[in-house]
């Protein structure tokens, strides 16, 4: 059976769905691997590296023969038209609000898997793309902030005087936020952080950052069974906003990462708050693609708002593509491995498996995922 690793067609996508390591792993699972020429270019993996690990370099003409297509992004209609009916396609599908594109994959007879729907259970930890990519995004957010900030992050005591340490405030201490805290600390900043989940308090403290939050009864009960944030009451939001407003005025860099599953990102930083910061301060909005945490943030831009540079880069993991590809490729191959029979080394897809059930969008000409219109095809 043939695995095809596609070259991404989105000009903003530098990642690739395989690495030399995962090609070897795929070969070991019994697959023939074809990598589209140039697929690894922006992740610094030359075709020759893929060849050395046992892949054949191919073109889009090889689509049709593929049993499995590995991608970073959901395939376009042109790409879909090239795949054979019955092929498996695995990617970050961005399914919410894209029901028409899902229906297209169903109609083409594809079995499409959305990696971001992987359940966050122990068995699937090594397949968790949200974590692998958010971790790098949190790191990159600090690097982007440092790049735009016209001052140093660490305190420097020199014969010519002292450069003060930058004050960094991280809002949302999930996977991305915790890595942002750790990275800012490594660069010598004085770091504080907030979150609405009480469990975050200890994690923030263990990284050496100060925790800032209104810790009332609502806060103490504010975590869902799945460990995710709840949308907070208007009253809590107002109290928290007042505390944050006072804190932000003293910060040099604010990094926001706050998301609530299935809801628009909460607005955490207002124009007024930005105005209270020193000129040349920085805000990085990692939630910009989901509506944004920062007022005035513009997707794909570094906007100037009230004297603050508001960074709204798109696809932040793609800005650190070579590292992000390595982890993403590993997530993919670990998932694909669960679909391969150990005895026959052939694909043996079990539609009842809980990982398959959670991530399969389309199969047998139908949309099979309950969140996206079961059996509507």
**DSSP, residue by residue, 190-232:** EEEEE-SSTHHHHHHHHTT-EE----SHHHHT-B-TTSPBPPP
Is residue 5 within 8 Å of residue 55, measured between CB atoms? Answer: yes
3 state DSSP class of 375: coil
Instruction: Name the residue with tokens 């990696």.
Output: 115
* Residue 90 contacts ligand NAD per CB under 6 A: no
Is 74 labeled as catalytic in the residue annotation? no
We find the least distance from the C-beta atom of residue 42 to ligand NAD, in angstroms, to be 25
Is 267 labeled as catalytic in the residue annotation? no
CA 120 from centre of chain: 14
* Residue 260 contacts ligand NAD per CB under 6 A: yes
Give the residue with the Cβ less far from ligand NAD, 80 or 170: 170
Kindly name the residue from 131, 132, 133, 192 that is annotated as catalytic: 131
Q: How far apart are CA 173 and CA 194, in angstroms?
A: 7
Q: Where are the alpha helices (DSSP H) in 38-167?
A: 47-52, 77-82, 99-107, 129-148
For the record, the structure tokens of 232 come out as: 């907070």
* Residue 175 contacts ligand NAD per CB under 6 A: yes
Give the residue with the Cβ less far from ligand NAD, 22 or 203: 203
Q: How far apart are CA 239 and CA 212, in angstroms?
A: 12
| Cβ density class 56-94: b for 16+ within 10 Å, e for less | eebeeebbeebbbbbbbbbbeeebbebbeeebbbbbbbe
Residues 38-77, interacting with ligand NAD (CB under 6 A): none
We find the least distance from the C-beta atom of residue 174 to ligand NAD, in angstroms, to be 2
Give the residue with the Cβ less far from ligand NAD, 68 or 283: 283
* Residue 227 contacts ligand NAD per CB under 6 A: yes
Site string for ligand NAD, 99-138 (x = CB under 6 A): ---------------------x----x--x-xx--x----
* Residue 7 contacts ligand NAD per CB under 6 A: no
Is 263 labeled as catalytic in the residue annotation? no
The residue count for binding ligand NAD (CB under 6 A) is 28
We find the least distance from the C-beta atom of residue 209 to ligand NAD, in angstroms, to be 14
Q: Which residues pair with 256 in a beta bridge?
A: 171, 285
194, 251, 281, 315: residue in contact with ligand NAD (rule CB under 6 A): 194
* Residue 363 contacts ligand NAD per CB under 6 A: no
Helix pair 129-148, 175-186: axis angle to 10 deg: 40
20, 40, 95, 172: residue in contact with ligand NAD (rule CB under 6 A): 172
Least Cα distance to 289 among 114, 166, 152, 137 occurs for 137
* Span near ligand NAD by CB under 6 A; candidates 29-37, 66-74, 256-264, 363-371: 256-264
Is 128 labeled as catalytic in the residue annotation? yes
Is 149 labeled as catalytic in the residue annotation? no
Q: How far apart are CA 371 and CA 358, in angstroms?
A: 10
* Residue 259 contacts ligand NAD per CB under 6 A: yes
We find the least distance from the C-beta atom of residue 26 to ligand NAD, in angstroms, to be 24
Least Cα distance to 67 among 347, 331, 338, 337 occurs for 347
* Residue 173 contacts ligand NAD per CB under 6 A: yes
Contacts to ligand NAD by CB under 6 A:
120, 125, 128, 130-131, 134, 171-177, 194-197, 200, 227-229, 257-261, 266, 268
Active-site positions read 120, 125, 128, 131, 228
């Amino acid at each position: 059976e043939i695995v095809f690793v596609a070259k991404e067609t989105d000009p903003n996508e530098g990642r690739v769905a395989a690495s030399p390591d995962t090609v070897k792993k795929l070969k070991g699972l019994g697959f023939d691997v074809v990598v589209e020429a140039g697929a690894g270019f922006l992740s610094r993996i030359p075709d020759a590296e893929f060849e050395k690990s046992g892949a054949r370099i191919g073109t889009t003409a090889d689509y049709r023969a593929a049993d499995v297509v590995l991608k970073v992004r959901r395939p376009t209609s042109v790409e879909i038209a090239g795949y054979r009916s019955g092929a498996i396609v695995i990617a970050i599908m961005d399914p919410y609000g894209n029901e028409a594109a899902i229906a297209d994959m169903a109609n083409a007879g594809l079995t499409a898997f959305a990696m971001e729907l992987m359940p966050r259970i122990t068995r699937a930890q090594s397949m968790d793309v949200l974590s692998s990519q958010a971790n790098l995004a949190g790191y990159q957010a600090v690097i982007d902030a440092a790049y735009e900030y016209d001052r140093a992050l660490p305190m420097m005591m020199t014969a010519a005087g002292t450069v003060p340490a930058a004050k960094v405030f991280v809002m949302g201490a999930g996977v991305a936020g915790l890595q942002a805290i750790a990275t800012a600390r490594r660069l010598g900043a004085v770091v504080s952080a907030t979150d609405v989940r009480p469990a975050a308090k200890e994690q923030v403290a263990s990284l050496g950052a100060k925790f800032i939050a209104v810790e009332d009864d609502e806060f103490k009960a504010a975590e869902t069974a799945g460990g995710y944030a709840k949308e907070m009451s208007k009253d809590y939001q107002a109290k928290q906003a007042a505390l944050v407003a006072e804190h932000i005025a003293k910060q040099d860099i604010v990094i926001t990462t706050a998301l609530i599953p299935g809801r628009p990102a909460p607005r955490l930083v207002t124009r007024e708050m930005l105005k209270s910061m020193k000129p040349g301060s920085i805000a990085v909005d990692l939630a910009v693609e989901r509506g944004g945490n920062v007022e005035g943030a513009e997707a794909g831009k570094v906007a100037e708002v009230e004297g603050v540079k508001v960074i709204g880069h798109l696809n932040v993991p793609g800005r650190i593509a070579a590292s992000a590809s390595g982890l993403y490729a590993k997530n993919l191959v670990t998932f694909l491995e669960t679909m391969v029979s150990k005895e026959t080394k052939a694909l043996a897809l079990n539609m009842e498996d809980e990982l398959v059930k959670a991530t399969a969008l389309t199969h047998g000409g139908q949309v099979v995922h309950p969140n996206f219109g079961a059996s509507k095809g």
